[in-house]
A and B are shown apart, each in its own frame.
Chain A
Amino acid sequence: MELKYGLISADSHAAFDRDDFTSRMSTKKWGDKVPQVIEFEKDGELLEGWSLYGTKPGVKKGFQATVCNCPALMGDPFPHWPKRWEEVPKLAYDPAERLKALDIDRVDAEVLFPNPPGGTYYQFGDAEFELETLQAYNDILADWTKISDRYLPLISIPYLQPPKVIAQEIQRSVENGHRGINLAGKTPEGLPHLADPHWYPLWEVCSSLKVPIHFHGSAGIGVGETAKSWDGYTERQAHSASTSTSATTPAHLVPQLIFTGVTERFPDLMIVFAEAGIGGLNYLINSCDHVWESHHLWTEGLHTRPSEIINRQMYVNFWFEEEGIKLRHNIGINNIMWEADFPHVASYYPGSWDSIERVLDGVPEDERRKLLFENAIRVYQIDVDTIAA
């Protein structure tokens, strides 16, 4: 069977219902620490937003400023964000309703990254809370797959647990319908570096289950903050300055994984970079090969040429790069997927196809198919029949 539209988004964001966490977690045990929507006052205005771990409005740490990040669904003036829960469109957070949005944009399936209240709970230093909240998080999105196989959710992991427990949570969630894990580019303070053997059990379980790991956007690595955030910028300038430097994310992380031997040790581990552009692989292929050759790194146990590693196990997503697509064969025609970023500000919803026609102008049909859905079907082991049904 063929896909209905021939388009899979490798990066979209699942929004959450206001009772998603309170209905799954014990409020008796956790009280107001359970993620929930509460009212707060800001500059004389009554707003609603997510409270995590009992953080009160005005407390920045752990408090999600917007109740739902969904400007693509909010209409004009673009972009704007809902201030209160009643403004949040059901199309964002109700999995049955959201299928309509997919049909409007003519998208067959979507990989689901987080939205407020987010997939990060280690910052409170409470390992038990982190685990139970993330089990709820992973269960919420597993429930989406019971509504439709068009949803391809990603696991958020409980960093503060021993790697064995994290691996169990990955195993459990994959059995429940998840298709990969989403990671922070920098591990939480006090825990070993991303390249450390401490994390090998994660790479083992992901390799054996054939589910990719993901780093999204700037992946929170915080590199270059002094250059990106200058307090003289206007809001627009600050957004441009910080967003466009997300281009560096793979360039920071890929060499870490290659030169520390992680990819040599885990050749079946798939690594996806979402919302970081595709052109960064040009640099990595050139520079890693140059260094590997000039430093004779095969003498250090790195037997595989870095460009072969990149080609074998790295994936990047495009949405706006016309120039980048012209270089698709340098990057690897089998290593590129499309992303919608729905319902975030970068999304072209409901006109995704218009942007695709512009960006893929002149690309032959067999290559279009790879970029728009065939590569995603392979990476996420998608059963076309269940989606098309």
Chain B
Amino acid sequence: MASGFISVDDHVQEPPHLWTSRLSKDKWGNRIPHIERTGDVGEHWVANGQVLNGGSVANVGALMADRNELPKFWDEVPEAAYVPERRLQAMDTAGVDYTVLYPTVAGMAGEAFGSFDDPKLEIACVQAYNDWLIEEWAAVSDRFIPQCIVPISSPEATVAEIRRAVAKGHKGVVFPALPMDLAEVPHVAEPIYDPVWAVCEELGVPLCLHAGSSPTLQYERYLDLAPKLATALSTVAKPVASVYVLGLYLFSRILLRHPNLKVVLAESALSWGLLFLEWADHQADHDGLAKEGYDLTPSQMFHRQCYFTSWFDEIAPFADYIHTENILWSSNFPLATSTWPGTQKTIERCVQGLSEQGREQVLWSNAAALYRI
């Protein structure tokens, strides 16, 4: 590897015709994800009558002259966001050897289509994305590590799409962590989801839970705030959602029942992890969970199966407790919070004090094993 860095959380920007060129216009009409223009105000994505991507045409702050600005129209979107060849150049600039890909318009956590009222439209949108990512990105370079998104209308549909997508070359599963917040489906802790966890174990693909999947995990917004400050606030608040998600997956026995399931908490950051894991262990002990058949403490389950993903925290203070085996690194490109193009400089600051082995684990070897690179 040229730089020794696998970035495990970056986002592709879906181009305007991804879905309109792959879904039947006769069948779906205007419900297909597409870009609409509002006079001089700008363009935004619409599907099934819903506005996608928070009303932005693209989420590419890191590529803008002013990071707090987003393009208003598609023709202002920098090519490094959506043209694979240009993306490879941007990766070279920041010393990124491989990049693990998450969506943008389909939801930063793959959650956009789950709230559709029509499971057939949902699966059509999901499959179009999954096929496109293999055909237009993975086919261009093996430096792109594709991950599929999934339908959530039923566990059977989720399982079927995971099998189909992994057979096509997808290496990870982007799953909206709390599907019951998106649609009228059972709580994710119910055993009815066991086949989903089991198929990930069977196929050896990680389950990737990206922050931002569910609005109930965020503190209510203060509306009277300048856009720059609102973005800053949500950037800090978003990773905190991972605490609830991890707590649920630990205490509800999903991880106990599926010891070979690997869970990546994408865009989680890691500096809150020490407090949460120490507290979870303390509380499990205090509440006597061992009496209810937990063979492992929460932190033991975490160390066996989970990964935090960060891009800005210093690692060394937390390495003894969280373990470098359980930490992955990203450039978070091309979001405004990304360290690009100075990613290597940030890495140097963050890995200070780690052993050579610890540094390798965080920057590439954990990810190489997880994604079989």
- Residues of chain A touching chain B, judged by Cβ–Cβ distance below 8 Å, are 186, 193-196, 221, 223-228, 230-234, 236-237, 239-241, 243-248, 251-253, 255-256, 259-261, 277-280, 282-288, 290-292, 294-297, 299-300, 302, 320-324, 327, 330, 345-346
Contacts and interface: CB of A to CB of B under 8 A. Distances in A.
A290 to B, nearest CB: 4
A323 B251 CA distance: 21
Contacts of B284: 240
A323 B217 contact: no
A327 B317 contact: yes
In the complex, which range does the number of interface residues on chain B fall in? 35 or more
B279 interface: yes
Contacts of A226: 178, 180-181, 187, 214, 216
Q: Which 5 interchain pairs have the tightest Cβ spacing?
A: A279-B275, A224-B244, A227-B244, A283-B272, A290-B312
A300 B292 contact: no
A230 B187 contact: yes
B138 to A, nearest CB: 30
B313 A294 contact: no
Given A195-B222, A287-B239, 5 more contacts: A193-B220, A224-B216, A228-B248, A233-B251, A255-B233
Interface string B301-343: 0000000000011100110110000000000000011110000
Given A279-B272, A286-B269, A240 B232 contact: no
B271 A260 contact: no
Interface string B228-247: 11011101110111011101
The winner among A186, A228, A239, A323 for most chain B CB atoms within 10 A is A323
A37 B233 CA distance: 44
Contacts of B251: 233, 237, 240-241
Given A223-B218, A294-B337, A232 B237 contact: no
Contacts of A230: 187, 189, 248, 252
A248 B287 contact: no
Contacts of A296: 67-68
B220 to A, nearest CB: 7
Given A247-B272, A323-B278, A287 B178 contact: no
Nearest to B224: A196
Contacts of B339: 294
B30 interface: no
Contacts of B275: 247, 277-280, 282-283, 321, 324
Contact of A248 (B223, B243, B317): B243
A244 B277 CA distance: 8
Given A248-B244, A323-B278, A330-B317, A300 B220 contact: no
A256 B218 CA distance: 12
A260 B225 contact: yes
B272 A237 contact: no
Contact of B217 (A224, A284, A321): A224
Given A247-B243, A248-B240, A277-B275, A227 B232 contact: no
Contacts of A320: 278-279, 282
Contact of A322 (B218, B278, B314, B336): B278
A196, A228, A256 interface centre (most CB from chain B within 10 Å): A256
B283 interface: yes
B168 to A, nearest CB: 32
A195 B221 CA distance: 10
Contacts of B312: 286-287, 290
Contact of A290 (B181, B231, B337): B337
Nearest to B280: A244
Contacts of B1: none
Interface in B326-362: 336-339
Contacts of A291: 232, 235-236, 337
Nearest to A329: B317
Nearest to A197: B224
A227 B236 contact: no
Contact of B313 (A234, A251, A255, A286): A286
Q: Chain A interface secondary structure, helix, strand, loop or mixed?
A: helix
A286 B251 CA distance: 28
23 contacts: A186-B220, A230-B187, A230-B252, A233-B252, A240-B251, A240-B289, A244-B280, A247-B243, A256-B233, A260-B225, A279-B272, A280-B275, A282-B317, A286-B314, A288-B236, A291-B236, A294-B67, A294-B336, A295-B231, A300-B226, A321-B279, A324-B278, A345-B286
B371 interface: no
A171 B318 CA distance: 43
Nearest to B181: A226
B40 interface: no
B216 A240 contact: no
A244 to B, nearest CB: 4
B190 interface: yes
Contact of A295 (B228, B274, B282): B228
Given A186-B220, A253-B219, A260-B225, A247 B336 contact: no
A363 B244 CA distance: 32
Given A224-B241, A240-B283, A287 B236 contact: yes
Contacts of B82: none
A318 to B, nearest CB: 10
A197 to B, nearest CB: 9
Q: Which of A193, A233, A287 has the most CB of B within 10 A?
A: A287
Interface string B259-282: 000000000010110111011101
B287 A240 contact: yes
A240 B228 contact: no
Contacts of B68: 295-296
B288 interface: yes
- Residue picked from A227, A255, A299, most chain B C-beta under 10 Å: A227
Contacts of B177: 227
Contact of B232 (A193, A221, A239, A259): A259
A227 B245 contact: yes
Contacts of A287: 235-236, 239, 269, 271, 312-313
B6 to A, nearest CB: 21
Contacts of A252: 219, 237, 240
B67 A295 contact: yes
Interface in B174-197: 177-178, 180-181, 187, 189-190
